Each structure stands twice: as structure tokens, then as C-alpha cells.
Amino acid sequence: MYRFLLLIIMSSTILTACQKELEFDTPPGSGGGTGGGGTTGTDYQPVTAASEWNYVSTGPTGSYKVVSIGTDSLIGGKSFYRFNNVTPAGTSRSYINKESGVYTTYASGTTSGGITIPNLTLIYLKDAAVGTTWTNVISYMGTASNHKYTVTAKGLTKTVLTKSYSNVIELGYALSVANPLGGPDIQVGEGKYYFAKGVGFIESDLMSGFGPAVLIDTTRLSSYTIN
């Protein structure tokens, strides 16, 4: 049971980190990329240099800022754009690849919670038809947690704090782990993610755990600048 609880804690950490594009304390090694950034007004993740997103969050990280560096790293033969994640605890690095409507984040190192995960690559968004699903499987201590995403709506108009965003994709999220007593997997988390075209991640509402050990994390975009 102790191992099962550790898995839930780890999965909750990943759940919270995913919405911030996996902010890790230890940056991954990588080769040199082509650099440059580029215009991204027609997709769901701008990468132009010095673009900035400010978020308010009820989670343990609190308010934080994401800044695009405008260059990329070659990781596994693919270009991943570099971003700095600025929190009260310091600055860490995240990496995002976008290719044919699929958005992937990468990290390899140690989380702020002390969990070491090597070469972690997760698909966090697909610009695909409503009903499209995919699952990221993360193994920890020999047991897997399943992070399932579903495109539940497209073309939405959504207000976050005081600003209205158009062309929004809504994702449903479900986190499940293997039942230590056997039988079907146990769902231990759920939530929603929202991404606006030309802006990026604008909101998430997440819950994980059960009983008294429940983590609730609501994150909203408070301001941004796209260069």
C-alpha cells in the first residue's frame, strides 16, 4: 500500500507539472538545434523570442511565468523549443515540440519534489477532431500511471479571468493507476485543459488523489505578450 500511495503522489506531481510544460529542476542534455523560433499565430503554441505568459495557480507552485527563449534543441532527432519557467523558487527549463498538430513536452532530470525521471516525453495536446484520445503512460517504481486525454470540444470561446479567448480547444483528462489488489485500474485524478489558438495554454482545472489526500489545482492565464 505504501508503494501505491507513492505512485499516486508521483502521478499527482506529474499531473501538476504537465500543465506547466513539465518544469524540472535539472535540465536535460541535448544537441544543438536550428534556432530561430518562427511565427506561430495559427497554432496553439507561440515560440517567438521573449513571448511571455503569466499564470495564477492554486497549486503548490503558486503564480509563475513562462518565457520563450526563441531557440530550439535537437532531442531525439526533433526540434524542441526552449522555455524558461519562472517561479518564486527559481527558474527551470522546459522543452516543447510541435509537429503536424501534435504538441509534445520533454524533460529529463529531477522535479522540485525530488522525483528523478529520465527522458520523459509526453503529448499534452493534439489539434485533432473531437473525440480523439491518447494516453501517456509513466512508470514509477515498476508500476504505471495512465494519463488519458480526450479532445472534448473545439472552436470554443472561453473567458479566463476578464479576457475572452476564441478558437479554444478543450481537453478532458483522466489519471488512473493499477489496482494493488487486482482488478480494473483505479481512477485517481481528472480535470480539464484549455488552449487558445495564437496564445497557448490558458486554463486548467485538475483534481487528483482520494479521501483526505486530494490535490486541487486551478491555473489561469492572467496576462501574456506574444512577440
Other Cβ atoms within 10 Å of 27 Cβ, number: 15
Q: Is the pLDDT of residue 11 over 70?
A: no
What cell does 91 get?
Answer: 527558474
DSSP state of 58: S
Q: Distance between CA atoms of 204 and 19, rounded to whole angstroms?
A: 7
Which has more pLDDT, 139 or 187? 187
Other Cβ atoms within 10 Å of 175 Cβ, number: 26
Average pLDDT over all residues of the chain: 81
Find the mean pLDDT for residues 114-121. 69
CATH 2.60.40 fits 2-225, yes or no: no
C-alpha 44: how far from chain center: 13
How far CA 104 is from CA of 7, 10, 75, 140, 194, in Å, comes to 23, 20, 12, 20, 16
Q: Distance between CA atoms of 220 and 88, rounded to whole angstroms?
A: 17
Q: Is the pLDDT of residue 79 over 70?
A: yes
Q: Distance between CA atoms of 72 and 95, rounded to whole angstroms?
A: 8
Q: Distance between CA atoms of 220 and 119, rounded to whole angstroms?
A: 28
Calculate Rg over the CA atoms of the chain. Answer: 17
Whole-prediction pTM value?
Answer: 0.84
Contacts of 62 (CB under 8 A, 6+ apart): 87, 88
Other Cβ atoms within 10 Å of 153 Cβ, number: 14
The pLDDT tens digits of the residues spanning 206-220 come to: 888 766 777 788 999
